[in-house]
Amino acid sequence: MHWDAQRYLDRHGFIIERGQALIDLLAPQAGERVLDLGCGTGDIAAAIAASGADVVGVDASPAMIASARARFPEQDFRIADAAELSFEEAFDAVFSHAVLHWVTRPADAARGIARALKPGGRLVAEFGGHRNCAALEAGFAQALLQVAGRPYPSPWYFPRLPDYTGLLEDIGLVVRAAWHFELPTPLKGSDGLRQWIIQFLPHHLDGLSDAEHEAVLTATEAALRPAIWHDGAWWADYRRLRVVAEKTGQAASDHKV
Ligand code: BEZ
């Protein structure tokens, strides 16, 4: 999918701010090598590097990597698909914030993460869990069908907690902690809902006339206003899955999914 890095920074920078809690959980140490998987605009990689860690940021989007390199030229950013990582025992930690729900080959991603970790290394990740954005997706699906006659196939992977921790354990990582929690999040501005759709679901609007495009957005707002507009803002019904897992001495390749 094409990423609009500037719109992301302008309208969805709160996602970067929310990454700070996960950096605290990572507790990066000076001299550690850390992979930021799905680094986007590079802000979180730069924040991790401020601890003295040596950070490599990867992202599948050339537009995001171009933005990251321009904003943080001293950092190491590379284009790479999370499901096709080629690192071998290169990192003390793999960190990933608000990314793994985009990766629809989760077992391939998990195997690549396990391979990329040194023995004793850790994965610290947070992404959308089961029923993440359930209201948002239902409202948009209803509007898209009514206005444009299009079905809505969800582009995301939002697993249940035991399904994801089981997947990690099947490939040989040891899950040290895991959470599934609600994180209602205000979107920026009275047009926040439509900006969210334009940013994250642009391909579902491809090929619509300007009038249909506007009608889908208006119908989504009408469908969702009773449920997620309050206190002067649209609230995204985020539900996060957060995990900490460790690669112990046993090689991940000894395990099969
Ligand atoms: C999330 O952070 O949960 C998310 C962000 C954009 C699209 C879908 C999910």
Tell me, using a 6 A CB cutoff, whether residue 48 lines ligand 1.
no
Q: Are 65 and 78 in contact (CB under 8 A)?
A: yes
In the three-class reduction of DSSP (H, G, I as helix; E, B as strand; rest coil), residue 143 is classed as: helix
Could you tell me if the CB of 132 is within 6 A of ligand 1? Answer: yes
d(C-alpha 196, C-alpha 154), whole Å: 15
Decide if 242 is inside a domain.
Answer: yes
Atom number, ligand 1, closest to the C-alpha of residue 98: 2
Does residue 192 lie within any of the structural domains?
A: no
With respect to residue 257, please indicate whether it lies within any of the assigned structural domains: no
For residue 161 the two structure tokens come to 């907690």
Question: Which string of DSSP letters, residue by residue, matches the chain?
Answer: ----HHHHHHHHHHHHHHHHHHHHHH---TT-EEEEET-TTSHHHHHHHTTT-EEEEEES-HHHHHHHHHH-TTSEEEE--GGG----S-EEEEEEES-GGG-S-HHHHHHHHHHHEEEEEEEEEEEE-TTTTHHHHHHHHHHHHHHH------------HHHHHHHHHHTTEEEEEEEEEEEEEEPSSTTHHHHHHHHH-GGGGTT--HHHHHHHHHHHHHHHHHHHEETTEEEEEEEEEEEEEEE-SS-GGG---
Band (pLDDT 50/70/90 cuts) for residue 18 is: confident
Q: Quote the ligand 1 centre to 98 CA distance (angstroms).
A: 6
How many separate domains does the chain show?
A: 1
Tell me if 73 is assigned to some domain. Answer: yes
> How many CB atoms lie under 10 A from the CB of residue 209?
9
Atom of ligand 1 nearest to the CA of 101: 9
Q: Is the CB of 201 under 6 A from ligand 1?
A: no
**CB of 101 shorter than 6 A to ligand 1:** yes
pLDDT at 9 over 90: no
Q: Supply the pLDDT for residue 252.
A: 46
Mean pLDDT of 125-144: 98
Q: What phi and psi, each to the nearest 5 degrees, are found at residue 145?
A: -70, -45
Is residue 176 included in any domain, yes or no?
yes
pTM of this structure: 0.93
The contacts of residue 93 (CB under 8 Å, 6+ apart) are 26, 28, 32, 33, 34, 35, 117, 121, 122, 123, 124
**Residue 179 maps to a domain:** yes
Radius of gyration for the alpha carbons in the chain, expressed in angstroms and rounded: 19
Q: What pLDDT is recorded for position 256? A: 47
Evaluate whether residue 200 is within a structural domain.
no
CA of 128 to the centre of ligand 1 (A): 6
Q: Tell me what the mean pLDDT of segment 18-35 comes to.
A: 96
Residue range 149-154: mean pLDDT, rounded: 97
Q: Is the model's pLDDT at 251 over the cut of 70?
A: no
In the chain, what are the helix, strand and coil shares in percent, each to the nearest 5? Answer: 45, 25, 30
Q: Whose CA is nearest to atom 2 of ligand 1?
A: 98
Residue 41's CATH number: 3.40.50.150
Q: Which domain holds residue 15?
A: 5-132+155-186+236-250
Instruction: Give a yes or no: residue 100 inside a domain.
Output: yes
Confidence bin at 3 (pLDDT 50/70/90):
confident
